[in-house]
């Protein structure tokens, strides 16, 4: 009797699970929305759109890109945390949205470590220290000396409070003890660089993909790559570590996240599609040409991304609090 009851219970449980499983296997049956929590035209937007085009082909359903900026990327990111249970929206997160903002804002709109299901890390992208072309420094040590002597008169630009561009310079200023430089946030990298080119601000810590055409065009001056290795797109530009800042490293990363309650089968399907898109030669070549370093296979799993988020929150908390930049 007990055995029959056990088998019946198991059968009932399987039948109850069937609709959700079948739904996950058929996902998606309509277009899916990729939330990019920053303005169109910026580096995160470019990466997302390259991925979306290939992912649409693989899924057989359109991946619609929706730019939802505001609050350092939290506005768009929070939409997925609150409304993405059905698996038809996901967010392209960054070090800003899923690490920095947890300390930068006194009341963040979500808990980056617990409110999301991590899909996969896509790429890491170096930051480049760039200045107006007439800035009186030709290398990092000259830059440090000048900024220390004139910090109250200088301004650094960013794509917005909480963006990777903001935090890169915030971290640099903290390390070289020049926290009196004024931060000028913009609504995206494009207007910030425009003012840098025009000489209205003094320097930026810009993502390599956005900085590259301006460096190549000679409208800004590049002083250092802010990662441990030189950027593939700027092989002759020395790193900050090579120029005396031992252990210094600041970069952004891009990864997909879904709502924490999304069906695991949908999560696995999106991860597989993302990886297939990443491994497509045309996608990989395009992103590498923009300065991205594609995530290697052992960094593509959900557990790795979860650990990365938690470690990055801890990494950035100290410099942010020390700078007094909390909002």
Provide the whole-model pTM.
0.79
SS (H, E, C) 195-231: HHHCCCCCEEEEEHHHHHHHHHHCCEEEEEECCCCCC
Give the pair of three-digit tokens for residue 98: 């899923």
**Of 258, 275, 269, the residue nearest 21 (C-alpha):** 269
Q: Residue 237, CB half-sphere, CA atoms under 13 Å: how many?
A: 26
d(CA 63, CA 273): 12
pLDDT digits (tens, 9 = 90+) for 164-185: 888 899 889 989 999 899 999 9
* Average pLDDT of the chain, as a whole number: 90
What's the pLDDT at 324? 72
pLDDT tens, position by position, 131-158: 999 999 999 999 999 999 999 999 999 9
Would you say how long the chain is, in residues?
327
Q: Quote the CA–CA distance of 146 and 202 in Å, as a whole number.
A: 11
What is the predicted pLDDT for the residue at 220? 98
* Other residues' Cβ atoms within 10 Å of the Cβ of residue 236: 7
Confidence of residue 13 (pLDDT cuts 50, 70, 90): low
pLDDT at 16 > cutoff 60: no
Residue 4 pLDDT more than 60? no
Helices of type H across 123-256? 140-150, 164-175, 189-197, 208-217
Taking a C-beta distance cutoff of 8 angstroms, is the pair 231, 208 a contact? yes
pLDDT at position 10: 52
CA nearest to 97, candidates 118, 83, 84, 89: 118
Q: Which tens digits make up the pLDDT trace of 287-314? A: 998 888 899 999 999 999 999 999 999 9
Report which listed range, 41-45, 116-120, 321-325, is most confident. Answer: 116-120
Decide if pLDDT at 97 tops 90.
Answer: yes
């Amino acid at each position: 009797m007990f055995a029959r009851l056990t088998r019946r219970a198991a059968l009932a449980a399987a039948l109850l699970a069937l609709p959700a499983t079948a739904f996950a296997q058929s996902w998606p049956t309509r277009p899916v929305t990729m939330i990019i929590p920053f303005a169109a035209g910026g580096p995160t937007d470019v990466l997302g759109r390259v991925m979306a085009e290939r992912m649409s082909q693989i899924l057989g359903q359109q991946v619609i890109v929706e730019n939802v900026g505001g609050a350092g990327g939290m506005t768009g990111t929070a939409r997925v945390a609150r409304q993405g249970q059905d698996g038809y929206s996901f967010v392209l997160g960054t070090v800003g949205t899923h690490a920095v903002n947890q300390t930068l804002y006194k009341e963040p709109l979500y808990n980056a470590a617990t409110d999301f299901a991590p899909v996969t890390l896509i790429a890491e992208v170096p930051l480049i220290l760039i200045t107006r072309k007439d800035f009186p420094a030709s290398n990092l040590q000259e830059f440090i000396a000048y900024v220390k002597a004139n910090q109250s008169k200088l301004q650094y630009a960013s794509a917005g409070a909480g963006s990777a561009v903001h935090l890169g310079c915030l971290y640099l200023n903290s390390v070289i003890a020049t926290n009196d430089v004024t931060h000028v946030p913009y609504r995206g990298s494009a207007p910030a660089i425009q003012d840098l080119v025009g000489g209205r601000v003094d320097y930026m810590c810009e993502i390599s993909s956005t900085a590259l055409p301006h460096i190549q065009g000679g409208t800004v001056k590049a002083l250092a790559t802010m990662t441990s290795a030189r950027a593939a797109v700027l092989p002759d530009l020395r790193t900050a570590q090579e120029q005396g800042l031992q252990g210094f490293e600041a970069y952004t990363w891009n990864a997909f996240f879904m709502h924490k309650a999304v069906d695991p089968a949908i999560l696995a399907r999106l991860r597989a599609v993302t990886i297939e898109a990443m491994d497509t030669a045309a996608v990989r070549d395009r992103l590498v040409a923009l300065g991205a370093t594609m995530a290697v296979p052992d960094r593509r799993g959900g557990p790795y991304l979860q650990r990365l988020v938690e470690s990055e929150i801890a990494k950035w908390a100290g410099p942010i609090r020390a700078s007094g930049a909390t909002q």
